[in-house]
Amino acid sequence: MDTGKGYLAMLEEKEYQQVLSVGEEGARTDGLFRLNEIVEVKGSRFKIKKITPKGLTLRVLPKESSD
């Protein structure tokens, strides 16, 4: 989870369940990232490959075809 202090912190299972129960089903919860989640940044799509206390490792995804 993004701590807002410049690093990421791992949530305990109890905290994780509390965060999920507060948000709507399928809604994006600010500061909570999951492995293999697809995120969009400035019009480009990325898949989260690794999460460490110092940041996220992202893999760029190909553009979706409009056909």
pLDDT per residue as tens digits for the range 16-37: 777 666 655 555 555 677 888 8
**43 vs 19 pLDDT, higher one:** 43
- Does 30 reside within a domain? yes
SS3 helix, strand, coil % of the chain, rounded to 5?
Answer: 15, 30, 55
- Does 7 reside within a domain? no
Total domain count, the chain: 1
pLDDT digits (tens, 9 = 90+) for 51-65: 887 788 999 998 877
- Does 54 reside within a domain? yes
pTM value is 0.54
Q: What is the rounded CA–CA span in Å between residue 26 and residue 32?
A: 12
What domain range is 37 assigned to?
Answer: 13-60
- Does 45 reside within a domain? yes
Q: What is the rounded CA–CA span in Å between residue 46 and residue 58?
A: 6
Q: What is the rounded CA–CA span in Å between residue 20 and residue 43?
A: 26
Residue with tokens 């690794």: 50
DSSP state of 35: T
